[in-house]
Chain A
Amino acid sequence: MLWDCAPTSSVIAGGLALGAGLALGIPAGAPLRRLGGSLLGLAGLILLLVQGASAQLEGAGDLARVSPAAGAWCLLLVLMLLMADALSQLRPGPRARAGLLALLLAALAGLLWSGVLSDLSVMQEFASRKAAFRTAALRHVALAFGSLGAAALIGFPLGILCHRNASLRGATLPVLSFLQTIPSLAMFGIMIPILGWIAATYPAAQALGIAGIGFAPAFLALVLYSLLPVVANTVTGLAATPPAAIEAARGMGMTGMQRLWKVELPLAMPVILAGLRIVLVQNIGLAVIAGLIGGGGFGSFVFQGLNQTATDLILLGALPTVVMALVAAIVMDILVDLTRRIPERQP
């Protein structure tokens, strides 16, 4: 019960904050009030979590674990939704959004570093796996961002060539669309025999670290998934350049390369970055599945947890993945806005 989960004073304070936050936040109309309400509610929820966890563990022995139940997670979800809605109504500019994001991340980091949440079971799982967590985090970043980089390296030139050459476009895009339709589990599965065969046949490939399981097949699968959004958005962005601007660029004596660099690419940049945003968020999520074929990353915790029906271990893998994907999406949105050199407003 709520009233005996923590010392009475904390329950009253936290409960009041939570109630007031919801009361302020739920009625629609004033986004600032809603934002304030969600922040107040979050503060109350965190207070209850912190105070409750230590109170519950008091005298309960070393092996006891406390974790938030469905009610706490639901409240967290509702409050986050309120905050997101309020922010989307307030429409802060790209710089304001970057500041807000930094502020939220700093608050989250402060909360985690301060140790007030260390009584929660997820944090105890973390404490016992610090080294493994660090390795997994680095591997996850390497998988998601590395595959993005590789896809961009292949996809941009391919997209530009497809834009210039209709028959290449007709051949390339369907193949990439087909790759996109392969279910992710199957894609990771297919990589095992293919790369396994390559490694077995060419010792040089094996020396480079290519094997049927591990980092290489996971990385390759992610790159293949990333190609369609990168190429398709590059083609779409380049195709949207105003024809009169192209005609003028040709007529004033720009070479093909000058036209590409000075006119077409800058105008296509927001659409191209929107493609990279899709890829990045998609890959951060898909990289979890890489855990299944020994690719490492947060997925290894998720699959370990699934095998042992250890919910806390699953959360240890899932929560950082969600945070990473959200942060990546927000940062990429900010970049898209910053590269949009043509104001959307009309004169």
Chain B
Amino acid sequence: MIEIDKITKLYGSTCAVDAVSLTAETGTITAIVGTSGSGKTTLLRMINRLVEPSSGEVRINGEPTHAVKPHLLRRRIGYAIQGHGLFPHHTVARNIGAVPELLGWPREKIAARVDELLELFGMEPAEFRERLPLELSGGQQQRVGVARALASRPDLLLMDEPFGALDPIIRTRAQEDLRAIQRKLGSTIMLVTHDMDEAIRLGDRIAVMDGGELVQYGPPEEIVAQPATSFVADMVGDAERPMRLLSLIPVSALLEPGTAEGAPLPAEATLREALSACLWTGREAIPVETEGTPAGRVTLAAIRARAERHA
């Protein structure tokens, strides 16, 4: 559990982060969203003390971070940044093994961990281990950057716009991979982004920052349906709201018995995809199947009723 307790950062007389408190449960993703200058990155960097807080404290599993030397604290916290920050002169294996090396793991244990992570990220170890970062594609570099941050099995993974440098198609893929890996490993992640879509897609909880203050903290459904301030509403976007809400609900939630014409959707698909399919193909209902066998259908009328309920 990560507890941020009334943490503040002052630069002279300007307040970059103003008494922010929030608690993130172990094994969840917390997305910190805000415009540039909202203090979201400063908040993140105060957690691993790349920025020293002016007041307040952060506790990781109950232990205050100021009780540990900064560089020792950082070795326990994964850190992945925009533009990956890989060491250009080290191979993929040395990059991933960087923190275990700092922690003094034995060589064989590091090598085994590197291979394990490469496999987890869908990169054939024998093929990629000895490559230099320049010899990888943008998406691969980003994956190696995240793998490096996870290498020592940290208590917490901090990510600062980790997908910012990727093109949209690769970014969506990278977000799905991160979500899958996080579920598999049960990692605790705090992620900074300016992109509300990314926050909704990845966050178990979303923290919205504005002018150094935490203006709303809650699950994505709540942020979309009940924005606490006009700023949050702007971030969500009025026109986008119904779509964002529907994108959070799986079709299985509105599954009803019956059949329908046309191509089926899997049960894990979202209502947004179902609505899309209805509009595009002019159907009133879409068949749903689980693992290839028909499971029922979802109707346009039900989707509409669900969107009208807001929450």
Contact = CB atoms under 8 A, between A and B. Distances in A.
A250 B50 CA distance: 8
A244 B148 CA distance: 14
A342 B88 contact: yes
B79 A252 contact: yes
Interface string B182-195: 00000000000000
**Majority SS at the chain B contact face:** mixed
Given A253-B73, A346-B134, A248 B102 contact: no
A198 to B, nearest CB: 45
Greatest chain A CB density within 10 A among B50, B82, B134, B148 is at: B134
B81 A251 contact: yes
Interface string A241-261: 010110111111111001000
A251 B136 contact: no
Nearest to A242: B88
Given A244-B83, A343-B132, A346-B134, A253 B89 contact: no
B135 interface: yes
B89 A266 contact: yes
A249 B99 CA distance: 9
B88 A267 contact: yes
B86 A253 contact: no
**Majority SS at the chain A contact face:** helix
Contacts of B306: none
Given A244-B83, A253-B73, A255-B71, A347 B136 contact: yes
A155 B58 CA distance: 43
Contacts of B98: 252
A343 B89 CA distance: 9
A247 B50 CA distance: 9
B83 to A, nearest CB: 5
A252 B86 contact: no
B241 interface: no
B132 A252 contact: no
B137 A253 contact: no
B40 interface: no
B148 to A, nearest CB: 8
Contacts of B145: 248
Given A251-B81, A254-B71, A347 B87 contact: no
Given A252-B99, A254-B71, A347 B83 contact: no
B262 interface: no
A342 B73 contact: no
Nearest to B73: A253
A253 B135 contact: no
Nearest to A251: B79
Contacts of B87: 245, 248-249, 262-263
A251 B74 contact: yes
Nearest to A347: B135
Contacts of B82: 244
A253 B88 contact: no
A164 interface: no
B56 interface: no
Nearest to B165: A244
Interface string A234-246: 0000000010110
Contacts of B88: 242, 245, 267, 342
Contacts of B99: 252-253
How many chain A residues sit at the interface, stated as a range, is: 20 to 34
B71 A244 contact: no
A341 interface: yes
Greatest chain A CB density within 10 A among B76, B81, B136 is at: B81
Nearest to B158: A251
Contacts of A253: 70-76, 99, 102
Contacts of A255: 71
Greatest chain B CB density within 10 A among A242, A248, A266 is at: A248
B85 interface: yes
A244 B84 contact: yes
B48 interface: yes
Interface string A307-347: 00000000000000000000000000000000001110011
A244 B81 contact: yes
Interface string B94-126: 000011001000000000000000000000000
Contacts of B48: 251
Contacts of B84: 244, 248
A248 B134 contact: no
A267 B88 CA distance: 8
Given A343-B132, A346-B134, A248 B74 contact: no
Contacts of A245: 85-88
A132 to B, nearest CB: 48
Contacts of B83: 244
B79 A267 contact: no
A342 B134 CA distance: 8
Nearest to B78: A252
7 contacts: A247-B85, A250-B74, A251-B48, A251-B85, A252-B98, A262-B87, A347-B134
